Structures are given as structure tokens and as C-alpha cells.
Amino acid sequence: MDKLLIEGGGKLNGTMRASGAKNSALPILASSLLLEGKLSLSNVPHLKDVTTMIEVLGSMGAEISLDDDMNFEIDTSNLNNHIARYELVKTMRASVLVLGPLLAKFGQAEVALPGGCAIGSRPVNLHLESMKKLGAEVVTEGGYIKAKAVNGLKGAEILFDTISVTGTENVLMAAVLAEGKTIIKNAAREPEVSDLIECLCQMGARISGAGTKELLIEGVHELNPTSFKIIPDRIETATYLTAVAMTGGNITIKDSRPDTMESVLDKLREAGAEITTESDSINLKMDSSLKSVDISTAPYPLFPTDMQAQFISLNTIAKGQAKVVETIFENRFMHVQELIRMGGDISLAGNTAIITGNSDALHSAPVMATDLRASASLVLAGLVAKGVTKIDRIYHIDRGYERIEEKLNALGAKIERVSG
């Protein structure tokens, strides 16, 4: 099993390019199931989760080709089944994103229940209830979601009592081919949801309200082939900016979208970083001492839960005491025990972490990655810790960060990937 060895201590300086957004690529890949013909995609990140979604689509008969620049072409003309198998779904919860498109296109879908997950129980009840509202019969049997809409899906009003990103995306993909109008109330406003909407509209779907809490979808009979470029990954960008806020230095991230990450940029400024932005690039300079920052996670446009772990790392070496509240997932503090092993002064009570910072707090230790963003927080800690930090189980990080050691080493980090 691969491990990362990180020698901490140096500043990071230089320019990098943001990768395409994982959380936009996954639903957009799933949306290819709705099409008659081919979907061409560029800026798809080279990640384990993307490979898994491609395997899910391939197992249904989709033909996928890829050129040297990672431009994908997905041809769904010869789909031959509507089943997302457990062996694939168990490795990635987001596989549930094929439920809506399969139901819309074929009137039936069988998708393995995703099961448990390192960051909480993460149920799929909202996905199932909304498919029922659209007229599907849904049962869970033998570990599978089995859904049928013999007479096709019908538009409906769907109110989410909890904001759900993939839940909103599943309903969007089901409703675009349903008969009549669908209204989604309390929809997720994440930029990745808006990116999916833009791609679906390019295929000929009729959706209004992107970026707001209420989405209106008017069903159409079919969607057409198109080419689409995935938006930049705001969480990847924010992770590297946080790394430089912690190590000190100067970084420019090109091909990024600062307008999609204002809550994080505000917090990095509060921590002492100097940040300037252009429409598609961000520069961060850090030459002052790091100040602690309180955060509370919430749906977009507020502070993302996918940056909570990285900000706990930041706070371990910042001046002052910080309070970090996790309001989205109930068990998303697995990184805390590992950061304590590296010297962090962190106490946990329910959904709140209290971190007392100290610029010399972190030292190397063997640690274990437990989920995707938790792993990122350990890499950031390793970059500033004294000595060589060994991070085990880094397959988690490869699910969501493209060539992380290559990108950070180009800025001056000393990270080595070793096997065994």
C-alpha cells in the first residue's frame, strides 16, 4: 500500500494550475446516461473517483474513449443494463448519482445501497423520497435500491428538508426528461450543481434558477450530444492556498474560480494571508504570523465541510484559540486524533473542536489517512512538522487530489511516495 513521506519545514513558492472539479465531473459523467449519442468532456481530473464512475458507466455498456489530454468521450448509444453493482458502488458513495438518469432514461434502475462511510452514516433517504415524488416505485431489497417508473416520471414539487448536493443533482437529472414541470425547493447552491445545470442546458434541458434555492425544470423529450468543460476544483485550490498560509511563501493558482470560494478566501485573509484575485487566478502571500480562525461549516455559499479538516491543521500552528464547528456530517473529526499524535492541542466535544495553536506544535509521527479531506489535513500538517511524517492509507487522497505530491513538490515541498 502506498505511503507518503513528507519532510516538513520549507516555504512553498510558485505557480500551479487548478485541476477540474471532482464533484462536478462525477454528476456530469452520470448525466451522459440521459443522452442520445456522445458527451465530450474536458478538464476531467485524473482521480480514483472518476475512474470508479467510468467503471460504473462502462458496466452498463457505455463506451468511453480518452485522448492524451484527458479529454473524454462517452458514448451511451449501446447501453445494455440499468444496474450499478455493489462491487463498484461500495468504493464510492457518489455512484448513487446514476439513479436519477437511469430512471429518467429507462424507467428502471437498480443501484446498490452505498452503505457506511468514514464520515458518518450518510443516508440516501432524500434521493429515494424525491424519486417517489416523481412517480417512481422504489424499494430497497437485498442491498439494492430498486426503482421503477413504468409510465415514465412525472414532474412534481420537491422540498428538501435538508440541503443535499447529490440529492439535488439526482432530482435534476431525473426531472429533465420527466413529463411536465418540477420545482426543487431548498436546492443545494454549490457551484458544482450549477455546473451540472449548465451542461444539461447545453444538451437541451430547460432549467432555470441555477445558483438559487429554487430550481424550475421543464421536462423535454430528449437531450442532445454536446461538449463541456468541467469547472476548476475549488476544494483542491483552497487546500493548496491553506498549505501556503501554513508554510509561508507565495503561490499563484491559475485556471481557478475565486468567485466560487469567497468564504474560504475570507478566512485565509483573517488568518493573515494577503490574497489578490483575477477572474481566473488567485495569488496568496504569507509573510506574517498565522492567526487562529473560528469556522462553522454550512452549505454553499458558507464555509465548506470539505475544508474543515485542513483548517483544523492550520489552527494547530496559529496564534490563539479557535473553535471549529461541523454542522454537516456527524463523524467528520477522524483527523483530530492523528493531528493530536503530531502534537496538535485539540479537544473535541460533540460537533465542536477547540484548537489551541502554537507555531512549534507539530512534529512528525506515523499517521493514517481516514478519509479524503482528513488525508489532506495530514499532508498540510506534514509540510510544517519537524522531521519526516509518514502518512499511511493514502489511497483516500488519490480519490480527490490529482498528483498531489507532484503539484506540491513543484512548489518546493519534499514529498515522496513509497510503496509497501
The Cα angle at residue 156 between residues 152 and 160, in degrees rounded to 5: 120
For the chain, what is the total number of helices (H) and then of strands (E)?
A: 14, 24
Q: Which of 303, 329, 333, 401 binds ligand UD1 (CB under 6 A)?
A: 329
Residue 37: closest CA among 228, 224, 227: 224
Stretch that binds ligand UD1, among 121-129, 246-254, 271-279, 405-413 (CB under 6 A): 121-129
For position 191 contacting ligand UD1 by CB under 6 A, the verdict is: no
Q: Which residues contact 85 (CB under 8 A, 6 or more apart)?
A: 59, 112
For position 26 contacting ligand UD1 by CB under 6 A, the verdict is: yes
Question: Which residue do the cell numbers 499563484 mark?
Answer: 252
For position 56 contacting ligand UD1 by CB under 6 A, the verdict is: no
Closer by beta carbon to ligand UD1, 10 or else 301: 301
Stretch that binds ligand UD1, among 98-106, 120-128, 142-150, 277-285 (CB under 6 A): 120-128
Give the nearest distance from C-beta 343 to ligand UD1 in angstroms: 27
For position 195 contacting ligand UD1 by CB under 6 A, the verdict is: no
Q: Which residues contact 21 (CB under 8 A, 6 or more apart)?
A: 45, 191, 192, 195, 230, 231, 232, 233, 234, 235, 236
Stretch that binds ligand UD1, among 83-91, 125-133, 390-398, 406-414 (CB under 6 A): 125-133
Stretch that binds ligand UD1, among 117-125, 196-204, 351-359, 406-414 (CB under 6 A): 117-125
For residues 335 and 346, the answer to whether their CB atoms sit within 8 Å is: no
CA dist 367 and 106 (Å) reads 46
- Residue type, position 100, single letter: G
Give the nearest distance from C-beta 162 to ligand UD1 in angstroms: 4
Q: Which of 236, 306, 326, 371 binds ligand UD1 (CB under 6 A)?
A: 306
For position 399 contacting ligand UD1 by CB under 6 A, the verdict is: no
State the binding string over 263-302 for ligand UD1 (x if CB under 6 A, else -): ----------------------------------------
Please provide the DSSP assignment of 159-180 as one string.
E-SS--HHHHHHHHHHHTTSBS
Catalytic status, residue 199: no
For position 125 contacting ligand UD1 by CB under 6 A, the verdict is: yes
For position 23 contacting ligand UD1 by CB under 6 A, the verdict is: yes
Active-site choice (9, 46, 87, 117): 117
Task: For the chain, give the number of residues.
Answer: 420
Stretch that binds ligand UD1, among 7-15, 119-127, 279-287, 333-341 (CB under 6 A): 119-127
Q: Which of 126, 282, 286, 346 binds ligand UD1 (CB under 6 A)?
A: 126
CA dist 375 and 391 (Å) reads 8
For residues 329 and 306, the answer to whether their CB atoms sit within 8 Å is: no
Residue 406: closest CA among 29, 35, 46: 46
Closer by beta carbon to ligand UD1, 21 or else 317: 21
Closer by beta carbon to ligand UD1, 173 or else 385: 173
Q: Which of residues 139-168 bind ligand UD1 (CB under 6 A)?
A: 162, 164-167
Residue 400: closest CA among 90, 94, 105, 134: 94
Q: Which of 328, 339, 361, 368 binds ligand UD1 (CB under 6 A)?
A: 328
Question: Which residue do the cell numbers 479538516 mark?
Answer: 309
Closer by beta carbon to ligand UD1, 9 or else 116: 116
Q: Which residues contact 349 (CB under 8 A, 6 or more apart)?
A: none
Written as nine digits, the cell of 48 is 480514483
CA dist 368 and 366 (Å) reads 7
Closer by beta carbon to ligand UD1, 112 or else 290: 112
For position 196 contacting ligand UD1 by CB under 6 A, the verdict is: no
The Cα angle at residue 284 between residues 374 and 18, in degrees rounded to 5: 60
CA dist 135 and 44 (Å) reads 33
Give the interface size with ligand UD1 as a residue count (CB under 6 A). 21
Give the nearest distance from C-beta 234 to ligand UD1 in angstroms: 11
DSSP class of 328: S
Q: Is 347 exposed, middle or buried (0-12, 13-18, 19+ CB in 10 A)?
A: exposed
For position 305 contacting ligand UD1 by CB under 6 A, the verdict is: yes
Q: Which residues are catalytic?
A: 117
| Contact residues for ligand UD1, defined by CB under 6 A | 23, 26, 93-94, 120, 122-127, 162, 164-167, 192, 305-306, 328-329
